[in-house]
Amino acid sequence: MTQQFSGRATLASWLDAFSRAIASNRTDDVVALFGDLCFWRDLVAFTWDIRTMEGRDAIRAMLDATLASIRPSAWTVAEPVRPDATDGFVSFETALGRCDGYVRLDAEGRCLTLLTALRELKGFEEPTRQRRVSGRVQRGAGKAAAQATESESASQPYVLIVGGGHCGLGLAARLKLLRVPTLIIDSHARTGDSWRSRYASLHLHDPVWWNALPYLDYPDHWPVFPPKDRVGDWLESYARIMELDIRHNTACAGAQYDATSGQWQVRVVQDGHETVLRPAHLVLATGLNGDPFIPAIPGASTFAGEQRHSSAHPGGSRFRGRKVVVFGSNNSAHDICEDLFDHGADVTMIQRSSTHVIRQQRVLEMLRPLYSEEALARGLDVGRADLQRAALPMRMLPVVFRPMMEKFAQEDSAFYQRLAAAGFKVDAGPDGTGLVGKALRKGGGFYIDTGASELIANGSIKLKSGVEATRIERDGIVLSDGSRLDADYIVYATGYRPMDEHIARLVSREVANSVGPVMGYGSGLEGDSGPWEGELRNLSKPTRQPGLWIHAGNFQMGRFYSRFLALQLKARFENLPLDVYRP
């Protein structure tokens, strides 16, 4: 019989009814505990995938397909929680693992959102905290066994990670603790060089609490927005502390998958010497983008000055007194314009289309409930903050963030009016979610303002908006409105090629087409074609190419989703019985 609540349901009463219904395999009773508008987001616990079920029918179909093998049990409200709470953390177990969750009830006491997330595999727990090893090396075979494991990892790893940035390092650290032989190959000479090589003024735009790596928080005395060299040094220190296997100055020249053996043949080149690695799994952790994109503008080859993509901008110190044109109005474009102005360059930004701009203080306000010293003081550590954030389904983004963006726009109206008076075109995205939606869809530019907006508003950084370059001449650029800009240096902050082109080059066009788009969730909005998926496409979950995984995103995404990707790889390493749910 379906549970009937007397009065308003609480988290505890709802979970009691839910656990009894699910233990009895009464899927109709389980579904009846969800509201008319409802979402179940699963991170590997039930589906061995990252998937959101929207609506009762989708939830019923998932349960019908998975309950018999998953066998969830021991549902418990996580302490501490108020007796009358209608949302909060829960824990439970499955046949293979221990899991976390987050429940949010609607006004009628039915479930609005349920998050279920695999935390660890039974019998393969990480040796952390209470499970720390003693550290004493046993005489005899112990040292030899450890050396043999390290040798196996470095020579023919089970998992090969291409890319030694924050995503690759965090995933490798988790796999290290799960005892999965893993090797990172990285094209840079040192870990962290991808940060050190950038322009001197670069800082993280997001606060330190948001950007932690797995297992290690930043030092308590670090600034809220660390400079790039500190970030680079931290990544290098992290790799050393976590004892990760990394080959530097090493590039992936190509990869082919052998379905018969279930292995890749990956050609890697180190210092001009090519070898072949045969991992079972290949993880691309090279970022969300392919190669830098530079638009083909007639006459570019005749330009007498320097031209670079924003990723190769060396810093503004060399361009004092020179005329510089920066194409683009995203974060990199603003940072580079500010860097050039600070070094005495005469700089002009070309804004081709409208941009979402949000003051950095507003980003802190958005993150403060989950990622801040105040949140830590309330006992909300990064792990729980990540879970609570993950409980918000994509479909609810406009409900949560549109009012927030409208509030910021109203309170900062004078700021935006000054930008508009300078000719800068500002938007909040087609769905009103601002940088949140734009970042997840990779649709349109946004800028977290760290100072460049004021320079644009007061004319220190010159602006040409709503125009395109029609021709580049020896010493200048002709624009679509008929005007001309003198230039000694051109910077293209014009983004990157799609990730599928990177896959096509490394593996094949056939595999790239099979995998499909990377990032976005099928919203149908700018840069994110449908159909609706409700999850980021192909990130940290199975792709249509066996053994190929993509792990990318900002620091928070890399940290959080590395757990679920590592557990998926560990389950396969141990040949555990798993069945990926595909409706």
Instruction: Classify domain 300-492 at the CATH superfamily level.
Output: FAD/NAD(P)-binding domain (3.50.50.60)
Per-residue model confidence (pLDDT) at position 289: 74
For 226-284, give the DSSP string. Answer: -BHHHHHHHHHHHHHHTT--EESSEEEEEEEEETTTTEEEEEEEETTEEEEE--SEEEE
Q: Per-residue pLDDT tens for 81-105? A: 788 899 999 999 999 999 999 999 9
348-387 burial, b for 16+ CB within 10 Å, e for fewer? bbbbbebbbbbbbebbbebbeebbbeebeeeebebebbbb
Stretch 420-437: mean pLDDT? 94
Contact 448, 360 (CB under 8 A): yes
**Among candidates 506, 527, 504, 209, which has minimal Cα distance to 372?**
209
155 versus 516: the higher-pLDDT residue is: 516
Pick the CATH number of 149-290+498-573 from 3.40.50.2300, 3.40.50.300, 3.40.50.720, 3.50.50.60: 3.50.50.60
Q: What is the mean pLDDT of residues 469-489?
A: 97
DSSP-derived 3-state class of residue 108: coil
In what helix (H) or strand (E) does residue 3 lie, and over which residues does it extend?
A: none
Read off the amino acid at residue 476.
Answer: G
Q: Three-class SS of residue 440?
A: helix
- Whether the per-residue pLDDT at 4 is higher than 70: the answer is no
pLDDT computed for residue 145 by the predictor: 47
In this predicted model, what pLDDT tens digit does every residue of 180-213 receive, in sequence order? 999 999 999 999 999 998 888 889 999 999 999 9
Query: Mean per-residue pLDDT for 152-166?
Result: 85
Q: What are phi and psi of 74, to 5 degrees?
A: 55, 45
The full length of the chain comes to 583
Half-sphere exposure at residue 286, Cβ-oriented, CA atoms within 13 angstroms:
25
Closest by alpha carbon to 190, among 131, 259, 240?
A: 240
pLDDT at 287: 83
Site of tokens 């670079």: 308
Lowest-confidence region among 42-56, 168-182, 526-540: 526-540
- pLDDT of 526 over the 90 cut: no
Number of DSSP helices (H) and strands (E) in the chain, helices first: 18, 24
Task: Give the H/E segment covering residue 298.
Answer: none
Tell me whether domains 11-121 and 300-492 share a fold. no
Identify the sign of the CA torsion 283, 170, 446, 478.
Answer: negative
- In this structure, what DSSP letter does residue 312 have? G
Worst-scoring range by mean pLDDT, 169-183, 281-295, 296-310, 472-486?
A: 281-295
What percent of the chain has a predicted confidence (pLDDT) above 70? 96
What pLDDT sits at residue 201? Answer: 84
> What secondary structure letter does DSSP report for 98?
E
E strand segments, 454-562: 462-465, 469-473, 476-479, 484-486, 489-492, 548-550
pLDDT digits (tens, 9 = 90+) for 30-67: 999 999 999 999 999 999 999 999 999 999 999 999 99
Rounded average pLDDT over 554-563 = 96
pLDDT average, residue stretch 172-184: 98
Q: Is 495 left (phi over 0), alpha (psi -120 to 50) or beta?
A: left
Do the Cβ atoms of 435 and 446 come closer than 8 Å?
yes
d(CA 178, CA 176): 5
- Measured CA to CA, the distance from residue 408 to residue 412 in angstroms comes to 6
| Coil, strand or helix at 448 | strand
pLDDT of 568 > 70? The answer is: yes
pLDDT band at 148 (very low <50, low <70, confident <90, very high): very low
Q: Taking a C-beta distance cutoff of 8 angstroms, is the pair 345, 179 a contact?
A: no
CATH number of 11-121: 3.10.450.50
Does residue 483 have a pLDDT over 50? Answer: yes
Residue, of 137 and 142, whose pLDDT is higher: 137
Q: Is the pLDDT of residue 507 over 90?
A: yes
Q: Are 89 and 100 in contact (CB under 8 A)?
A: yes
What's the rounded mean pLDDT across residues 374-379? 94
Q: What b/e string do you get for 319-342 counting C-beta neighbours within 10 Å, with b at 16 or more?
A: beebbbbbbbbbbbbbbbbbbbbb
Give the domain ranges of the chain. Answer: 11-121, 149-290+498-573, 300-492
> Is residue 15 pLDDT above 90, yes or no?
yes
More confident residue, 43 or 5: 43
C-alpha–C-alpha distance, residues 58 and 42, integer Å: 12
Res 2 pLDDT > 60? no
Paired tokens of 108: 């009628």
